[in-house]
Amino acid sequence: MELAPGVRVAVTDRHGGISVPPYGSRNLGGMVGDDPEAVRANRAGVAAELGVRGIVFMRQVHSADVAYVSEPFGDDPPALDGVFTTEPGLALASLGADCPAVLVADPVARMVGAAHSGRPGTEAGIATALVAAMAAKGAAPGRMVALVGPGACGRCYEVPAELRERVAARVPETWSTTSWQTPALDLRAGIEAQLRAAGIQDVRHDARCTIESAELYSHRREQPGGRFAGLIWLA
């Protein structure tokens, strides 16, 4: 779908690939125990379907580290959780199985970025770091549009009380309670607050909950399991 003029986004699901259970079928995660050849084929299939010349996959480590990219990394990507580019036809991927993808674009500067913002990344401020890195290269947060992808929702993502305390001390909007009245984190609310604080007014959501949605992979629901991707690229 079109996020902004000339900017496309897509969110894959578990259907359409060749991986077999428990990874079935479109697992895009490279380090989760699946057959590497199946993952490679699944990734190539997504690139062909989207009509992009390549996809940048990161080695995601729950950091707040961001880099500019102009080509896919290949078989040994660096440890990063955010990338951005001005190259048309180069898709940027954030893999997840409960951790939301953060996809941002400045359609005027023709710049797009993607970040992986799970619990540690949200705590470390990866979304904030991505917007700052893009702004330093000429993007303007006031012109940016953001999409926060599917993730574990604030009514399902149960955590120990001390962890909720700690994360909410840094990102107050994450404080939440499960539907069964135990401590939880609402990463989506925290990420939206970070994006707004960085100056982005147009923040949208693919608000599907991975734990509740059988068509998406969820680390909380199934282990081992695969990874889906949020993707953004310049047309």
Q: By the criterion CB under 5 A, which residues form the site for Zn ion?
A: 153, 156, 209, 211-212
How many residues can be counted in the chain? Answer: 235
Q: Which is nearer to Zn ion, 38 or 156 (CB)?
A: 156
Q: Which is nearer to Zn ion, 25 or 213 (CB)?
A: 213
Residue 147, number of CB atoms within 10 A of its CB = 24
Could you tell me which residues are beta bridge partners of residue 95? 229
C-alpha pair distances (Å), 222 with each of 48, 57, 107: 28, 23, 37
Q: Indicate the SS3 state at residue 169.
A: helix
Taking the C-alpha atoms of residue 101 and residue 107, their distance in angstroms, rounded to an integer, is 19
Q: Which is nearer to Zn ion, 27 or 210 (CB)?
A: 210
- Minimum distance, C-beta of residue 153 to Zn ion, in the bound complex (Å): 3
DSSP string, 84-115: EE--BTEEEEEEESSSPEEEEEETTTTEEEEE
Q: Which is nearer to Zn ion, 52 or 209 (CB)?
A: 209
- Minimum distance, C-beta of residue 207 to Zn ion, in the bound complex (Å): 10
- Minimum distance, C-beta of residue 181 to Zn ion, in the bound complex (Å): 15
- Minimum distance, C-beta of residue 220 to Zn ion, in the bound complex (Å): 9
- Minimum distance, C-beta of residue 149 to Zn ion, in the bound complex (Å): 14
Q: Which is nearer to Zn ion, 198 or 211 (CB)?
A: 211
- Minimum distance, C-beta of residue 112 to Zn ion, in the bound complex (Å): 28
Q: Which is nearer to Zn ion, 144 or 211 (CB)?
A: 211
Do 100 and 127 touch, CB atoms closer than 8 A? no
Instruction: Single out the residue of 121, 139, 127 nearest to residue 234, CA to CA.
Output: 139
Do 53 and 197 touch, CB atoms closer than 8 A? no
